[in-house]
Amino acid sequence: MRIRSWACLAALGIAAVSQHSFAAAIVGNMYEPFDYAPGTLFPNTGGTPNGGAGWNLTGDFSQANTAGWGTGTQNNGGSLGTNRTATSPGLTYSAIGYAAPTGNKLTLDSVTPNASQSMSRNLGGQIVDAGSTYFSVLMRRDSDSLRTMNFALFSQVGTGTFSEQLSVGQIGAASGTLLNGSNGKITIIYKNQNPTGIRASTVDMGTGLTHLVVGRIDWNTDIGGTLETVTAWVDPTDVTTEAAALPAKFYSNTEFDLTNIGFARPFTGNTAATTPSTPPVTGSYDEIRFGGTWASVVSTTIVPEPALFGLMAIAPLGLLARRRTHA
């Protein structure tokens, strides 16, 4: 288990300053429906586009987003955003209690051999490594390929220092073979370790099929304690509660030593150096959500933080004006 340096420094009485607060749970909720005009490009840098809601230090939908796409270093492909575009229509998925998707979708097209497409967005500046973190994403593989297509979570361990912690999706072929790392199944993979980090479901990624993936990370903050618990669901038919989604749970175990998460990154893989070569991936992503509760990443209503319930009793009209419901 990792040693939390700030806790050690505090015990020694050493004063220090950092731009991030460690051992911090996610605050509020974040939502990206890709509600951008069709053809909108996503460049490598500049932090734009920056739509959606809650991508700020408070996870508050009423506050301006402070993080846009193209931040960080996990951006691959043409610098002008070619082949990373918003396309219409958005992905759709039906489940009892699941929020009806809105807007368009993100399409990543790895058309050039050995040139993958990816881009990242930081979680509004939040660095998360405590409590429970939930996330959800819709994904669809649009071309028949054995290459990697996944949605990855990255840590930030210093200024400009990033590391892949966990990803969900299809893991692609190793060099020199046509075998797929997850055998065409949707999987989670720990710190990009193939094959030792792969935990595959029984669900085929397929082509042209939209999947809902929901994940939960239960963080351990004890020095020298147990590892993080990671749980994942694929294609639940009922998301009204976590218990209702139980049949779709494909993985839950306490075995991963995660640093923190501060960035999200959709990715599609390049053509492998194989004979014959495998085609590159075109993939689409939509309805990306982060929050501290199950309801915050699946439901039609954004659930307020627990601290807000007292305020609701005092000033219900003001809070009702600030709440936002997605139909």
| Cα–Cα nearest to 86, from 122, 59, 113, 50 | 50
Position 43 scores a pLDDT of: 83
Q: Which residues contact 315 (CB under 8 A, 6 or more apart)?
A: none
Classify residue 192 by burial, with Cβ atoms within 10 Å: 0-12, 13-18, 19+.
middle
Domain 5-322 has CATH 2.60.120.200: yes
| Cα–Cα nearest to 277, from 148, 118, 140, 145 | 145
Position 22 scores a pLDDT of: 56
Q: Per the structure block, which two tokens stand in for 205?
A: 């990624």
Position 32 scores a pLDDT of: 96
For residue 49, cis peptide bond before it (omega within 30 degrees of 0): yes
First vs last Cα of the chain: how many Å apart?
Answer: 42
Q: Per the structure block, which two tokens stand in for 275?
A: 């004979």
Within 10 angstroms of residue 322's Cβ, the number of other Cβ atoms is 12
Position 19 scores a pLDDT of: 36
Within 10 angstroms of residue 117's Cβ, the number of other Cβ atoms is 29
Position 223 scores a pLDDT of: 63
Q: How far apart are CA 179 and CA 146, in angstroms?
A: 8
Give residue for tokens 């892949």: 164
Q: How far apart are CA 195 and CA 128, in angstroms?
A: 27
Position 281 scores a pLDDT of: 83
Position 76 scores a pLDDT of: 76
DSSP code for 282: E
**What SS3 class is residue 314?**
helix
Position 241 scores a pLDDT of: 96
Within 10 angstroms of residue 224's Cβ, the number of other Cβ atoms is 8
Q: Which residues contact 187 (CB under 8 A, 6 or more apart)?
A: 168, 169, 170, 171, 181, 198, 199, 200, 201
Position 113 scores a pLDDT of: 58
For residue 195, cis peptide bond before it (omega within 30 degrees of 0): yes
Position 16 scores a pLDDT of: 30
Q: How far apart are CA 221 and CA 239, in angstroms?
A: 29
**What SS3 class is residue 192?**
coil
Q: Per the structure block, which two tokens stand in for 315?
A: 């000033």
DSSP code for 280: P
Which pTM does this prediction carry? 0.83
Q: Tell me the pLDDT of the chain (327 aa) as tens digits.
A: 343 433 333 333 333 333 344 579 999 999 999 999 999 998 877 788 999 999 999 999 999 999 899 876 677 776 667 789 999 999 999 999 999 889 999 999 887 655 688 889 999 999 999 999 999 999 999 987 778 899 999 998 776 678 899 999 998 765 555 556 888 899 999 998 888 889 989 999 999 999 999 999 999 977 666 799 999 999 999 999 999 999 999 999 999 899 999 999 999 887 655 556 667 788 999 999 999 999 999 986 554 444 333 333 333 333 333 333 333
